Chain A
């Protein structure tokens, strides 16, 4: 096709760029490497070599250094992820709550394997490590949002709504600590020290 020159990512986002750079002290501008990568990733669903170079130039460091940082983390991607990036926590607590079966279900349903993106760029499926939602396992992270306590029905519902492009934001899963007071039994075994 035509030899169109790709515009620099931050060319028309100078406000965002300076907001990120200003977060860090002058001597610590290199700290901006992660937020810059994130900004690109959020917008383009991956960070290309070209963007790596752009970030390197912004920060005055080598592209190798940027790549070294980027590749260290598991949430930056070299290849674009799908519109719905489905991440299944597969660590112990989630696994004990059925995340393996949930993965099998999704893999089967979406016809994808771990790490794969479908050819329309709709779905990506990825097993990830502990998301810090162990008490509400199993958890799915779809793009930025956590869907907790995902049972079979809910999982199917989520897939359907993604297919229809009608994915709702998750409702607050968390039973706050104040909830369930009525279920609480007073502690019985130990007399707590100093509590009258």
Chain B
């Protein structure tokens, strides 16, 4: 379709909004209410332009021509039009700089500001405020409004994480629309009407996993991130764009740091992965990095104490010890959110130490690499989705992309200026195609609210469910736990007939190799693609590059049970498990790479300060098989280093340095394995899904437990840091032990009561949460990194009440 913007002719697809035509032409028009990825609503009236179009004669079907020029005559709309809600038409003429358009824009800036406090000097948004910028560019500079401004609450705490300044709000409705349109949680709304309208919630706190996004999208300083309030001015921050290591999505984020401290995390655009959204754990779960309790120097054991030392000193100490070991006596364990570079470094170190005792954790028994992998954008345009497990807690972004699919609008085509500013296919309160989504889980999971069908099955019946569904897919009779025959058949039929069917499963299925195989077979049988939710940011990558034991005797659990004489372990705290602690004490060498002191550092011979995920440089592979860059922000972490540095120091101290350093080895290995240059990754990552290895060296040997009375469940919070993330802790509370009221009554427990419990050797403390949607008899326990998701047998006698609820 041809349109003309300020004299420039363009050819654009039908359905394009006039505002995108304006930007496509390289022109500009101000806007506040429009937002990429949300429905255009036309409420701020800022994007006004003079618009006209030619008209066809009803009778002849020909263009009505201008008598003088012989060209099609342009019929101008009588009033300036909001470009965000106007679809282009053939021959449309859009003028943003016409006198009447400019006058209209000025008038609108003036009206937008009449009730705005103009307190930019004390506003956290100052310097990064759409209103401030647009008012300068398009306003008159003066206001003729001489009356008292509307006075409203200045610091209204919407939650522990978000504060609202009602005077600054310009009623663009982005925040309200966000909650309804993106996660589907209507927790915020306008109250009152007309000039009295304000934003509020009457729920306690904002019950959603994605609340922080409203602080990014608020065009003014009305909604602010409480973790970063008054921490710095926007122009003082260093902005580092990176991928989050919070979960397996690898969501794009910006790290705002200043004077060596990380002060804020914001979402960054990755059109393929998280679009512009991140969950609250990814956003607010960073405060721990600024903690004064961080280990900042290497420490070496002197008797009962750990004393500061240099990297050189400790490396030599470690090398000395390691040199005395025989083959296969050393063990290396990385946490599953370590980068590929750290993984290769660990592998190289293991090679030099001639040991196959190497692993990453948490890692389940089955592979997290799908056979027939779906991307997140595939997911967003899927027409049949079967989820088994708890997506929303595991990888919240997957939850959001499923919700994209429910709207039935495929990811938008890009413009040169980026994501369409006004995607006219998006509407407020779109009818969601719930019927395309089936969710099954051993308890009531959040996503079930949005599903056409939801089934709660008995924990650990994943294998049986997948097998039975496969039978049905193959035309055999079968019955599926927790589903009626019609439901099961309808599900299979829908998946079978869909163009883009996707099956999503997580740790519950991976906990049992047989279940994982059954899941794959079912996906095959119905021709569905798979998305597998690894428990951590680089679960996929570390498996792909085989940071895995050479033999089933050498896995994480075996190592912790005494298979090695020396252990180098990064960012895990196995000694929180009393059984493991015993074994760890017997080691000849325990090297612990850690951010904080914990039970394991207490046993260590050497403690090395670790970098957080915001301080590392490297590469990860997210759950789609997308290679993503991880970049370091300038955070003062003392002498903290990543595992690559640690391995290199030890190798150097061992005198085993090769021709090439570890970094270039990793760079080459990545190129070889994934076919990409890890130094030149696309800003949105490179999608290079692999196939699972047929001969996975880590044999799937451990039989999963079939019985149990508790389920380790995924949690979006990184519980290992939660007590050092004060805002997140205040909002989300301590780790929850969730159970049915029958169990609570049987144990004399009340809601919010604090209890401690021995969870398979780990003493943990919880706040009790009673939910009757949890099957009786099953207790839910949120996972720690040292505990892979799955069923376990709990010693309920170990339960102790710690405190009465406040």
Contact = CB atoms under 8 A, between A and B. Distances in A.
Interface of A: 49, 52, 61-65, 67-68, 71-72
- Secondary structure call for the A interface: helix
A71 B201 CA distance: 12
A57 B200 CA distance: 19
Nearest to B193: A72
Contacts of B193: 71-72
B192 A64 contact: no
Interface string B171-201: 0000000000000011111111100000011
Contacts of B192: 71-72
Contacts of A65: 186, 189
B174 to A, nearest CB: 16
A52 B202 contact: yes
Given A61-B186, A64-B186, A65-B186, A71 B202 contact: no
Q: Residue among B185, B188, B189, B203 with the most chain A CB within 10 A?
A: B189
- Secondary structure call for the B interface: loop
A67 B191 contact: yes
Contacts of B200: 64, 67
A63 B206 CA distance: 12
A62 B191 contact: no
The contact size tier of chain B is: 10 to 19
B190 A62 contact: no
A87 B75 CA distance: 49
Contact of B191 (A49, A61, A71): A71
Contacts of A67: 189, 191, 200, 202
Interface of B: 185-193, 200-203
A67 B200 CA distance: 9
Nearest 8 Cβ contacts at the A-B interface: A68-B189, A71-B191, A62-B186, A65-B186, A63-B202, A67-B202, A64-B189, A64-B201
Contacts of A72: 192-193
A49 B191 CA distance: 14
A71 B192 CA distance: 5
Contacts of A49: 202
Contacts of B187: 62, 64
A63 B191 contact: no
B191 to A, nearest CB: 5
Contacts of B186: 61-62, 64-65
16 contacts: A49-B202, A52-B202, A62-B186, A63-B202, A63-B203, A64-B186, A64-B187, A64-B189, A64-B202, A64-B203, A65-B189, A67-B189, A67-B191, A67-B202, A68-B189, A71-B192
Nearest to A74: B193
Contacts of A63: 202-203
A71 B191 CA distance: 6
A68 B203 contact: no
A65 B191 CA distance: 9
B99 to A, nearest CB: 36
Q: Residue among B200, B202, B203 with the most chain A CB within 10 A?
A: B202
B585 to A, nearest CB: 52
B375 to A, nearest CB: 33
A147 to B, nearest CB: 28
Contacts of B202: 49, 52, 63-64, 67
Nearest to B176: A68
A53 B80 CA distance: 43
Q: Residue among A49, A52, A62 with the most chain B CB within 10 A?
A: A62
B324 to A, nearest CB: 64
Nearest to B192: A71
A65 B180 CA distance: 10
A61 B191 CA distance: 16
A190 B185 CA distance: 63
B89 to A, nearest CB: 34
A174 B54 CA distance: 53
Nearest to B204: A63
Contacts of A64: 186-189, 200-203
A67 B189 CA distance: 8
Nearest to B207: A62
